[in-house]
Amino acid sequence: MTSTTERPPKRRRDRAAREREILEAAERIFGERGYQGTSMDDVAAQVGVSKPLIYQYYGSKDGLFLACLARLRGHLLDTVADAVMAAPNAEDALYAGFLAWFRFLDEHPQAWSVLVDEGMLSAGPAAEATDEVRAAFIELIATMVRMNLPAGRPVDDDEVQIVAQSISGATERLAIWRTRTPAPPSPEKVARTLQDLLWQGLHTIKSS
Amino acid sequence: MTSTTERPPKRRRDRAAREREILEAAERIFGERGYQGTSMDDVAAQVGVSKPLIYQYYGSKDGLFLACLARLRGHLLDTVADAVMAAPNAEDALYAGFLAWFRFLDEHPQAWSVLVDEGMLSAGPAAEATDEVRAAFIELIATMVRMNLPAGRPVDDDEVQIVAQSISGATERLAIWRTRTPAPPSPEKVARTLQDLLWQGLHTIKSS
DNA sequence: CTGTAGAACTTACTCGTAGTAAGTTACTCG
DNA sequence: CGAGTAACTTACTACGAGTAAGTTCTACAG
């Protein structure tokens, strides 16, 4: 031991720990540079590990990206769902859901970059996984829509779907718009306006 | 007779004609295979020309894709704008606009594939061009929204923007949803439901 | 303190595709 | 005809996704 230098950095770790480490780096880099702008070599270098190891753990670039996406989406979905469930009635639930959505995205900008990039995956098997995550949101919205209608009455499912898809699309576009606008309106303002826009119309859904 | 024009062997053409030829092939191939799934060599082979020629005319893959995108979007925008302008009042204009949108996309499925793929361009300078095209739609919607409000009264521009972005997002997501659903509701049904959902709420925009 | 099984990890590639440098062919007009 | 120029090509480089095959480290049985 003639050398006085320390050698702690390059230690082996068990699989679970490495996977977590890779995922965190990937989330950060994808968030900064986007899907296209990130190479697997970048991620590998950042973690201090070689590329094939990442392939062994995540299978492909899409696989790694999807792992990030699923985690972030899950987190976002939980936040919104909690806000919705805590509301005393349908009207408040709608507003609370919108507010939680926009607030979360304000507080996790890098997360949002990853989520927005999902459009990147419009081709390939990754698209299916992406759609599954989105479907959970649509389902939450559809549930809220039904909450708002006279209980026990049969409902036109097509109309519920149309409304739920509309709301999902509106909130996504608003989120993108807010990140690209210099001084965007506050989450409260946006949630309020959206609530005003939609609330009346939600009663027009017909029975099937 | 696969084509109305004859292609004897392999003649030189002037730039404008070649550009059109390349653009048509690119539109078709992008529409079939998506952005990622299309290589410049594919397009070149299809046209019967070498790759550098396409680079000379369109600069990059993004440039070629954007040229397709701009043309298709322009066409779509014209169709919707015509329908809106032909309507006798704001309420009809809203419905007519939605209807024209969904009908156009039903009738030009390959065009829509290209438009959906624009998410692909979220990175790079191409994103700006994409946003410009979308901004024209937002402007059209904002104009409609204003049409619907008491004339001459000052209006909260933030709220108009929020509403316009929402409508844009809703229609885009509905269009995507319809292409991925086995037996989607008719354009009339979707336009009607969306109209019902939004019409009441459009009166809630406040003065500034 | 071995020796050995298997997990963690690496080197050194292939392959496909965006993009380019430099040259060649055909058309046009004096 | 013979220049000048626009249309076009061959033959590359660069880079990033994904892989085959091997090399250490570590836990644990004897």
The pLDDT tens digits of the residues spanning B10-57 come to 678 999 999 999 999 999 999 999 888 999 999 999 999 999 999 999
CA distance B170 to B167: 5
pLDDT of residue A113: 75
pLDDT of residue A7: 38
HEC assignment per residue over chain A: CCCCCCCCCCCCCCHHHHHHHHHHHHHHHHHHHCCCCCCHHHHHHHHCCCHHHHHHHHCCHHHHHHHHHHHHHHHHHHHHHHHHHHCCCHHHHHHHHHHHHHHHHHHCHHHHHHHHHHHHHCCCCHHHHHHHHHHHHHHHHHHHHHHCCCCCCCCCHHHHHHHHHHHHHHHHHHHHHHHHCCCCCCHHHHHHHHHHHHHHHHHHCCCC
The pLDDT-based confidence of B110 (bands split at 50, 70, 90) is confident
Residue % of chain B over a pLDDT of 90:
57
How far is A193 from chain B, CA to nearest CA, in Å? 7
Residue A85: Cβ-neighbour burial (10 angstroms; 0-12, 13-18, 19+): exposed
For A159, residues 6+ apart whose C-beta sits below 8 A from its C-beta are: A205, A206, B193
One-letter amino acid for residue B192 of the chain: R
pTM: 0.87
Measured distance CA(A142)–CA(A150) in Å, rounded: 14
Which pair of tokens denotes residue A49? 């590990």
User: Chain A residue with minimal CA distance to B204?
Assistant: A196
CA distance linking residue A175 with residue A80, whole number of Å: 14
Smallest CA–CA separation between A175 and chain B, in Å? 10
The whole-number pLDDT of residue B70 equals 86
Residue A155, classified by CB atoms within 10 Å of its CB into exposed (0-12), middle (13-18) or buried (19+), is: middle
At residue B121, the pLDDT reads 59
CA B12 to C1' C26, in angstroms, rounded, equals: 8
In 3D space, the residue among B170, B31, B162 whose CA is nearest the CA of residue B94 turns out to be B170
**Residue A198 with chain B: CB contacts under 8 Å:** 197-198, 201
Contact B101, B76 (CB under 8 A): yes
The span from the CA of B6 to the CA of B110, in Å, is: 25
For residues A11-34, one letter each, b for 16 or more C-beta atoms within 10 angstroms of the residue's C-beta and e for the rest, the string is eeeeeeebbeebbebbbbbbbeeb
Q: What is the DSSP letter of B119?
A: G
- For residue B206, the SS3 value is coil
For residue B187, the chain A residue with the least C-alpha distance is A162
Expressed in angstroms, the distance from the first to the final Cα of chain A is 82
For residue A40, what are its two tokens?
């697997």
CB–CB contact A170 B174 (8 Å): no
Instruction: Please tell me whether any atom of strand D lies within 7 Å of the Cβ of A39.
Output: yes
Regions of chain A with pLDDT less than 70 = 1-10, 118-130, 208
Distance CA(B121)–CA(B35), nearest Å, equals 10
Lowest mean pLDDT among A67-71, B6-10, B107-111: B6-10
